[in-house]
Structure 1
Amino acid sequence: MLAVTAAVLTTLVVPAAAPAAPARPGEGPAWTGAWGTAVQRPVEGSEDWGPNWSQDGFADQSVRQVVRVSTGGSTLRIRLSNAYGTTPLRITAATVGRSAGDAQVWPGTARTLAFGGERGTTIAPGRELVSDAAALRTSPLEKLTVTLYFADRTGPATFHRFTTSPSYRASGRHLTDSGGDAFTTSTNAWYFLSGVEVSGPASPRRGTVVAFGDSLMDGTGAAPGTDTRFTDKLAERIAADRRPLDVVNAGIGGNRILNDSPCYGDKAADRFRRDVIDRPGVRTVIVHLGGNDLAAPEMGDPCMGSAPHVTAVQIINAHKELIRAAHARGITAVGATILPMKGALFPAYSERGEKIRTTVNHWMRTSGAYDSVLDVDRAVADPADPAMPRPGYVFPDGVHPNEAGSHAIASAMDLDDL
């Protein structure tokens, strides 16, 4: 949530289309997103967010990234993004395998990925692509490694700034190393990798659920390597209930619904197509946005960029634009009420902002604009002071949910609404 021009959100225009359906015999596989992240512009590291390699990029280096898929399949492919690159991105080669912990890969599981039948590929600036399908059977909630080798200099890297899973770097080509000794440095960020998609077994109900929003979705407050974000807990509930639904996390810490910022991603309208609509098999989007729009004027964070005061009407109208864009593609839209902010140990709360938060949350609950509501606010609010979260549900910053808070939010989700 932490880490807008207050002008009205520009209208999202998307072509009407039916939601993705399972493939018929002879049509090829139906793909869904088993893992994903929202990409951002390169930005330097900081004390709060940690170091990263996005501005320097890579040259004659291998980058091994660990991800946890929400469901399994018989084949998979990866999605790579050069959305913020200014020059063509050359991927020399790539592999995928089962994680054996840290930077290790289970021996014998590494699969070489192809791109249009070739070992490597080039991605134009502002574009993304998917690999060819690879035969690697996966299971729900297992961890995979994706290793990319860059022989040539990449330039600044399109990336995701904050993760709870390290990425590892090695000098030279180490695509199929089962050991992790060559990968001597790591950061908590993902680079160029924006999705892992699976196909099979076929199911008429299988689809992707995208969690779209700010740091509540992104997982600020979750301990590194613990898989305790809201989306992790939700994926575990879905897997335990044996529902054929994948979960993709498209949260960005600090993201806003009304304005861009240098460090916290494009505003919601500008990234909704890429991060939600253009992903395969999307059935449902869960939207949690607005808290940073209220907090930005109080924070004085230069990384936020423009930070005007906003109104409830502006935030509500922006939500309505996202709902219309989702419905135009046959996607169910679930609104997530804005979490309590009064307990923040950084300057985020104001009485003005609290009145707006209350108004927006009331609109979500009562207007019927969203197809259903995930009431984050009530799931974590302190009964003694509903403007604050329960003390046992928050990270030490006083606002972001810890593991217990993420569990409470995921438990509040009615799976039938997905």
Structure 2
Amino acid sequence: MTTRPLLAALAAAVTLATATTSAAAAADSTARLAAWGPSMTIGGPNFSNQTIRMVVHSSIAGSSPRITVSNLRGTTPLAVGAVDVAVQSGMATAVAGSHHTVTFGRSRTTTIAAGKEAVSDPIPMSVGAGQNLLVSLYLPKATSSATWHSDAFDTSYLSAPGDHSRDDGDGNYIAARTSWYYLSGLDVVPTSARGTVVCFGDSITDGYNTPIGAYQRYPDDLARRLAAAGTPKGVVDAGIGGNRVLTDVPNIWQGVSALKRFGHDALGEAGVRTVILLEGVNDLHAGVNTAGGPLTAQDLIGGYQQLIAQAHKAGVRIIGGTIMPDNEPGDREAIRQAVNTWIRTGGAFDGVVDFAQAMADPNNAAGINPAYDSGDHLHPNATGMQAMADAVNLQLLG
């Protein structure tokens, strides 16, 4: 064979191999479903030469999991020295022998630019529905304010100085927090689940006032309902405490508006087919629209219409949740009622979950049912969260 045909044959082989690899990667990405994925905000603490061990509660069973490490809200590059995934035994203790070193582009270390995220290579392990994993993230250099999710309602563990990512025991983990740091996603090749549902909202969706580490937020309950019905789906909780539809919140850790984050936090999740939108009560409390004027029902409706348009452009169904009762004063209650009437009857959403009706006090439609009240007359307790999940018609989710 002459040189020219040999080079041509080699080039063809490389092209075929590249095409095969790209096709396999594309197929793998298409098949994947998000199994867990908190929305991230700016304003977390700084770290230096420390390992953070966090709990990930998978909503579905699957294989070859990948994790996402986020510097989305960071202002400086994030150096990642090591990442490990293991099965949780209890608290910060891993099941011996279950550790897997996580790589990014086959490298054990990576640097993530400000405003970016890094998705890991597939990890050779299986994950069960409702199983807890420990993800340990070693940060060798001083960070700026962390990209984080403040209200995890789960426990994360901070180490003494050094890389303790592969520790089995918890002896080097000397502090506990109830936030997630930099860790923003878990996706899997599903065992039997079909499609991902994103529950998008504020502190109610986020699970405020639910027991730490009990996984009794309404999205957790919904994932269990779907599994029990024989129609498992990935369920992602994209709630942020204090979040609003129309405007950013002055407390930066409560996130930019739904209008700004919806594309990333909801439509960006792997395999998303349906979004359940429950947000608006914080807009009522703030009482302002995007122009800084007094809030009207039409302002909120206009915000919902923009989110609906974003979802439909992406080929995603969006289910509207009515705003739950909160004993609002007269003017705010009038807006809530007008908005809820539009959600129920306007026909703009692909379906409706009437959370307001399901959660209302039978003796006072403007207030939450005392049996569901966590104590602040707004956020449901564990029983209320289950009632919210039970209010979802599973047929709406496909």
- Match in the other structure for 1:265: 255
Q: How far has the Cα of 1:308 moved from its partner?
A: 5.5
Q: For 2:65, what is the secondary structure of its paired residue?
A: strand
Among 270, 290, 295, the alignment partner of 2:280 is: 290
Deviations 1:180-231 (Å, cap 9, x if unpaired)? 1211101111000111111143x6x711110111111100120111111111
* Counterparts of 2:35 and 2:173, CA distance in 1: 26
On the 8 A contact 1:67/1:165 being kept in 2, the answer is no
* Counterparts of 1:282 and 1:259, CA distance in 2: 25
- Match in the other structure for 1:153: 142
* Counterparts of 1:98 and 1:206, CA distance in 2: 24
Which letter maps to 1:118?
A: S
Deviations 1:236-276 (Å, cap 9, x if unpaired)? 11121231310001100100001001321100111011101
On the 8 A contact 2:72/2:147 being kept in 1, the answer is yes
Structure 1 unmatched runs, 5+: 1-22, 43-53, 299-305, 343-348
- Match in the other structure for 1:182: 172
Deviations 1:278-302 (Å, cap 9, x if unpaired)? 221110001011100111259xxxx
Tell me, yes or no, if structure 1 residue 130 matches structure 2 residue 119.
Answer: yes
- Match in the other structure for 2:194: 206
**Residues 67-78 of structure 1 correspond to what in structure 2 (within 5 A)?**
67-78=56-67
- Match in the other structure for 1:396: 375
On the 8 A contact 1:75/1:200 being kept in 2, the answer is no
Which letter maps to 2:42?
A: R
Tell me, yes or no, if structure 1 residue 39 matches structure 2 residue 28.
Answer: no
Tell me, yes or no, if structure 1 residue 142 matches structure 2 residue 142.
Answer: no
Tell me, yes or no, if structure 1 residue 312 matches structure 2 residue 287.
Answer: no
On the 8 A contact 1:340/1:386 being kept in 2, the answer is yes
On the 8 A contact 2:82/2:163 being kept in 1, the answer is no
Among 314, 320, 344, the alignment partner of 1:365 is: 344
Q: How far has the Cα of 1:25 moved from its partner?
A: 11
> CA-atom RMSD, angstroms?
1.8
Among 337, 349, 359, the alignment partner of 2:322 is: 337
On the 8 A contact 1:296/1:307 being kept in 2, the answer is no
On the 8 A contact 2:34/2:271 being kept in 1, the answer is yes
- What is the count of residue pairs matched by the alignment? 370
On the 8 A contact 2:76/2:144 being kept in 1, the answer is yes
* Counterparts of 1:183 and 1:404, CA distance in 2: 33
Which letter maps to 2:71?
A: N
Among 238, 261, 264, the alignment partner of 1:274 is: 264
On the 8 A contact 2:287/2:295 being kept in 1, the answer is no
Tell me, yes or no, if structure 1 residue 386 matches structure 2 residue 386.
Answer: no
Q: How far has the Cα of 1:396 moved from its partner?
A: 1.1
Tell me, yes or no, if structure 1 residue 244 matches structure 2 residue 232.
Answer: yes
* Counterparts of 2:250 and 2:100, CA distance in 1: 37
Structure 2 unmatched runs, 5+: 1-22
What is the identity percentage for the equivalent residue pairs of Structure 1 and Structure 2? Answer: 41
- Match in the other structure for 1:18: none
On the 8 A contact 2:223/2:232 being kept in 1, the answer is no
Q: How far has the Cα of 1:332 moved from its partner?
A: 0.6
Specify which structure has the bigger relative contact order, considering alpha-carbon pairs within 8 angstroms and separated by 6 or more residues.
1
For the structure 1 residues 226 and 28, does the alpha-carbon distance in structure 2 shift closer, same or farther, using more than 3 Å as the test? Answer: closer
Q: For 1:197, what is the secondary structure of its paired residue?
A: strand
- Match in the other structure for 1:415: 394
* Counterparts of 1:185 and 1:25, CA distance in 2: 39
- Match in the other structure for 2:331: 352
Q: How far has the Cα of 1:27 moved from its partner?
A: 3.1
- Looking at secondary structure, tell me which structure has more helix per residue: 2
Q: For 1:184, what is the secondary structure of its paired residue?
A: strand
Which letter maps to 1:392?
A: A
Q: For 1:325, what is the secondary structure of its paired residue?
A: helix
Which letter maps to 1:37?
A: P
Could you state the TM-score of these two structures normalised by the residue count of structure 1? 0.85
On the 8 A contact 1:297/1:307 being kept in 2, the answer is no
For the structure 1 residues 126 and 24, does the alpha-carbon distance in structure 2 shift closer, same or farther, using more than 3 Å as the test? Answer: closer
* Counterparts of 1:123 and 1:385, CA distance in 2: 51
Could you state the TM-score of these two structures normalised by the residue count of structure 2? 0.90
On the 8 A contact 1:294/1:309 being kept in 2, the answer is no
* Counterparts of 1:110 and 1:24, CA distance in 2: 26
Which letter maps to 1:290?
A: G
Q: How far has the Cα of 1:136 moved from its partner?
A: 1.3
* Counterparts of 2:338 and 2:132, CA distance in 1: 41
Moved over 2 A (4+): 23-29, 306-309
Which letter maps to 1:259?
A: T
